[in-house]
Amino acid sequence: MLHPITPAHYLILSVALLLIGTLGVLTRRNIVIILMSIELILNAVNINLVVFSRLFDHMNGQIFAIFIITVAVAEAAVGLGILIAMFRNKETVQADEIDLLKW
């Protein structure tokens, strides 16, 4: 007997992605891993928006999710550009070793 996938399944997936992303941001020192964790958090938000949009039969959540995906792409491009510039300058990608803005 097959069980249908309910909105609760998607919400559990979203919570798991949010927890993994939050742990990645808080515990990792590598900037690449931190950027990937932020993407996981944004994907958790997108899953919630699409699930509730589908559940309440409105398109607003899905449209907003598309905007979040667009912002995430821009954030990844800018973040990787800054990361490459920092790596060329400091030769490290560890977040606690980059103190370029200190006096």
Give all strands (DSSP E) within 37-80, no chain letters. none
Q: Is the pTM above the cut of 0.85? A: yes
Dihedral sign from CA coordinates of 47, 75, 32, 19: negative
CA–CA distances in Å: residue 67 to residues 24, 28, 42, 48, 70: 24, 27, 11, 14, 5
What would the two tokens of residue 48 be? Answer: 């919630």
Q: What is the pLDDT of residue 76?
A: 92
How is residue 65 written in tokens? 């999710």
How much is the pLDDT for 97? 80
* Domain 9-96, architecture per CATH: Orthogonal Bundle (1.10)
pLDDT tens digits for 16-73?
A: 999 999 999 999 999 999 999 999 999 999 999 999 999 999 999 999 999 999 999 9
